[in-house]
């Protein structure tokens, strides 16, 4: 048995989860479930990012002490993940002792480490720059559009303080080499090119501590400062599995897959491997970056009023359909636009009239014409083994189309041969067709398990029962 360690980003607690966060988490769950079913020992990690100025301010605004605030908001995430049937194995919170201990240890080790050029990795210096609180990062003039952060539409503030710095500039050649050799695969390929581009532009040293942010992990060797929230956050991938000494760490590291959206590529594609290299820790095997979506052509925002709440989708479509509609809304890996108006159409077309109807039609024939028994053992006319291959490469979109094609194929086949008439005129031959379709339905049911776990179990259970019945619609019609 091999291990498979997969992570999502840990989500900021300054705001409540929206379908963007659900999107990444469902994608990770699909991949985790795939490997688990294949028999691998999966460790699926998610969690919340709880320190830093952004969260301290949000807590203040809510009139709560930061710890109380994060305790409350973190539960909103974990309970949403339960509602979405997310099969995570651990939920790390950066305000937990186990995490803070690892962060301190990591920083202490960095303090004693040397760069490839035999200089100290960390040094102290005065710094002044433009800081975007939304990004929790310093910005260059060139990152801004008319002086405004394009991602957060806010004006960065000028920050001047004494900080500890990470000598990232010494890691240029090492990072280039490691990425060139695919020591850490960056997928899709365009994202790898982007990272190579970042390195080519030249890597600037960055501050790993903050002088004026109280809400964070204290720097163990300079307790006036707290650890920069991104450095703190990235270490979650290690702290959750007991770095540096626990057997769990030794078994699970390096991570097999860090999954995330494109907004945080630089942190995972440059800073994280540099931090790990500085301490001689193996790099994660792969990072996969998916695209960002807008809603009806606009960035989701409270001001525009187009924020889609996952709970609303759950209420309207139910659990499995919500997972399915979200993950198949646009091609995984690319940017996309979500039109909530198309969800109803897709629910009806693909799920209710496609899959649900296929199951009803076939099982109805088994129930009515073959006494509830699959007449003969006939292999499936289509194999869906490629679904797994696609999932292994995070090609979630292709995996879904393969399944959808099989559903369309089966429904069209039934129509073409007029199976409901054939059962009356040529029962034996129709029995072979019906049996083949049952085998295909089983394939479809199994292939759907990572995407829609309960529906998948329902399909297989109905096919396995001693006396097969048509049963209730898989996807009831919605108003």
Q: Calculate Rg over the CA atoms of the chain.
A: 26
User: Closest CB to ligand MSP among 20 and 436?
Assistant: 20
Quote the least distance from Cβ 61 to ligand MSP, whole Å: 17
Q: Which residue is nearest to ligand MSP (CB)?
A: 20
CA 404 to chain centre: 22
User: Closest CB to ligand MSP among 230 and 475?
Assistant: 230
269 is a contact residue toward ligand MSP (CB under 6 A): no
User: Closest CB to ligand MSP among 80 and 366?
Assistant: 80
Quote the least distance from Cβ 40 to ligand MSP, whole Å: 23
Do residues 56 and 101 lie in contact, with contact meaning Cβ atoms separated by under 8 Å?
no
User: Closest CB to ligand MSP among 74 and 456?
Assistant: 74
Q: Please, what sign has the CA dihedral across residues 454, 460, 464, 470?
A: positive
Query: Can 299 be counted among the known catalytic residues?
Result: yes
12 is a contact residue toward ligand MSP (CB under 6 A): yes
Distance (Å, rounded) from C-alpha 30 to C-alpha 16?
23
Identify the residue among 31, 32, 168, 300 touching ligand MSP (CB under 6 A): 300
Do residues 184 and 174 lie in contact, with contact meaning Cβ atoms separated by under 8 Å?
no
Quote the least distance from Cβ 265 to ligand MSP, whole Å: 9
DSSP code string of 342-401: HHHHHIIIIIIIIIIHHHHHHHHHHHHHSTTS--S----SS--HHHHHHHHTT-HHHHHH
Q: Which of 299, 345, 368, 373 is catalytic?
A: 299
71: its two tokens: 């305790």
325 is a contact residue toward ligand MSP (CB under 6 A): no
9 is a contact residue toward ligand MSP (CB under 6 A): yes
Quote the least distance from Cβ 234 to ligand MSP, whole Å: 5
Do residues 18 and 310 lie in contact, with contact meaning Cβ atoms separated by under 8 Å?
yes
Measured over all CA atoms, what is the biggest interatomic distance in the chain, rounded to whole angstroms?
88
148: its two tokens: 């405004």
Query: Can 135 be counted among the known catalytic residues?
Result: yes
Identify the residue among 293, 343, 370, 451 touching ligand MSP (CB under 6 A): 293
User: Closest CB to ligand MSP among 292 and 420?
Assistant: 292
72: its two tokens: 């409350």
205: its two tokens: 């040293």
Distance (Å, rounded) from C-alpha 220 to C-alpha 226?
9
Identify the residue among 10, 58, 175, 468 touching ligand MSP (CB under 6 A): 10
Q: Which of 51, 54, 99, 132 is catalytic?
A: 132
Identify the residue among 58, 195, 260, 438 touching ligand MSP (CB under 6 A): 260
CA 453 vs CA 29, 84, 212, 404, 434: distances in Å: 11, 11, 47, 16, 25
Query: Can 139 be counted among the known catalytic residues?
Result: no
The length of the chain is 479
Query: Can 438 be counted among the known catalytic residues?
Result: no
Residue with tokens 């109805």: 364
CA nearest neighbour of 99 among 197, 233, 250, 261 = 233
Identify the residue among 65, 114, 124, 263 touching ligand MSP (CB under 6 A): 263
Quote the least distance from Cβ 293 to ligand MSP, whole Å: 4
Residues 6+ apart with CB under 8 A from 187: 286, 287, 288, 289, 393, 394
User: Closest CB to ligand MSP among 50 and 105?
Assistant: 50
Subset of 388-417 contacting ligand MSP (CB under 6 A): none
Size of the site for ligand MSP (CB under 6 A): 19
- Residues 47-86, mask of contacts with ligand MSP (x by CB under 6 A): --x-------------------------------------
The H or E element that residue 238 is part of is helix 236-239
183: its two tokens: 């020591």
Identify the residue among 4, 5, 6, 23 touching ligand MSP (CB under 6 A): 23
Q: What are phi and psi of 252, to 5 degrees?
A: -90, -30
CA 208 vs CA 136, 165, 383: distances in Å: 12, 5, 52
Identify the residue among 20, 284, 375, 453 touching ligand MSP (CB under 6 A): 20
Identify the residue among 4, 6, 21, 419 touching ligand MSP (CB under 6 A): 21
Q: Select the span of 16-24, 113-121, 341-349, 444-452 touching ligand MSP (CB under 6 A).
A: 16-24
State the residues that interact with ligand MSP by CB under 6 A: 9-12, 20-21, 23-24, 49, 233-234, 236, 260-261, 263-264, 292-293, 300
Q: Which residues are catalytic?
A: 18, 21, 132, 135, 149, 152, 299, 302
């Amino acid at each position: 048995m091999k291990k498979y360690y997969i992570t999502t980003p840990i989500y900021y607690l300054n705001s409540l989860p929206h379908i963007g966060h659900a999107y990444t988490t469902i994608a990770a769950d699909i991949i985790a479930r795939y490997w688990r079913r294949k028999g691998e020992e999966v460790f699926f990690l998610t969690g919340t990012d709880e320190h830093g100025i952004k969260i301290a301010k949000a807590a203040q605004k809510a009139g709560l002490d930061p710890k109380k605030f994060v305790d409350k908001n973190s539960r909103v995430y974990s309970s949403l993940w339960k509602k979405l049937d997310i099969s995570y194995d651990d939920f790390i919170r950066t305000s937990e002792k186990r995490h803070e201990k690892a962060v301190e240890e990591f920083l202490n080790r960095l303090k004693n480490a040397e760069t490839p050029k035999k200089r100290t990795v960390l040094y102290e210096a005065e710094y002044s720059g433009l800081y975007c609180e939304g990004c929790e990062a310093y910005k260059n003039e060139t990152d801004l559009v008319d002086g405004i952060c394009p991602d957060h539409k806010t004006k960065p503030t000028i920050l001047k303080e004494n900080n500890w710095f990470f000598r990232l500039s010494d890691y240029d050649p090492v990072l280039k080499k490691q990425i060139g050799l695919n020591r850490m695969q960056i997928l899709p390929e365009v994202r790898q090119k982007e990272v190579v581009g970042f390195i080519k532009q030249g890597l600037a040293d960055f501050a790993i501590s903050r002088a004026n942010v109280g809400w964070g992990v204290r720097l163990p060797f300079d307790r006036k400062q707290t650890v920069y929230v991104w450095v703190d956050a990235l270490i979650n991938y290690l702290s959750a599995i007991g770095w540096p000494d626990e057997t769990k760490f030794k078994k699970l590291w390096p991570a097999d897959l860090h999954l995330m959206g494109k907004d945080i590529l630089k942190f995972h594609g440059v800073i994280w491997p540099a931090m790990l290299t500085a301490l001689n820790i193996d790099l994660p095997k792969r990072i996969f970056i998916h695209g960002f979506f807008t809603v009806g052509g606009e960035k989701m925002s409270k001001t525009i009023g187009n924020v889609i709440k996952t709970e609303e989708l759950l209420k309207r479509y139910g659990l499995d359909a919500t997972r399915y509609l979200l993950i198949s809304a646009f091609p995984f890996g690319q940017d996309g636009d979500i039109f909530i108006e198309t969800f109803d159409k897709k629910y009806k077309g693909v799920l209710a009239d496609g899959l649900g109807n296929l199951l009803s039609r076939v099982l109805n024939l088994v129930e009515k014409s073959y006494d509830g028994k699959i007449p003969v053992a006939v292999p499936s006319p289509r194999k869906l083994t490629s679904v797994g291959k696609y999932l292994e490469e995070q090609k979630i979109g292709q995996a879904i189309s393969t399944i959808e094609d099989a559903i369309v194929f089966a429904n069209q086949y039934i129509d073409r041969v007029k199976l409901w008439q054939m059962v009356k005129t040529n029962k034996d031959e129709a029995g072979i067709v019906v049996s083949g379709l049952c085998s295909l339905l089983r394939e479809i049911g199994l292939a759907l398990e990572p995407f829609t776990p309960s529906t998948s179990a329902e399909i297989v259970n109905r096919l396995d029962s001693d006396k097969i019945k048509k049963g209730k619609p898989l996807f009831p019609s919605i108003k």
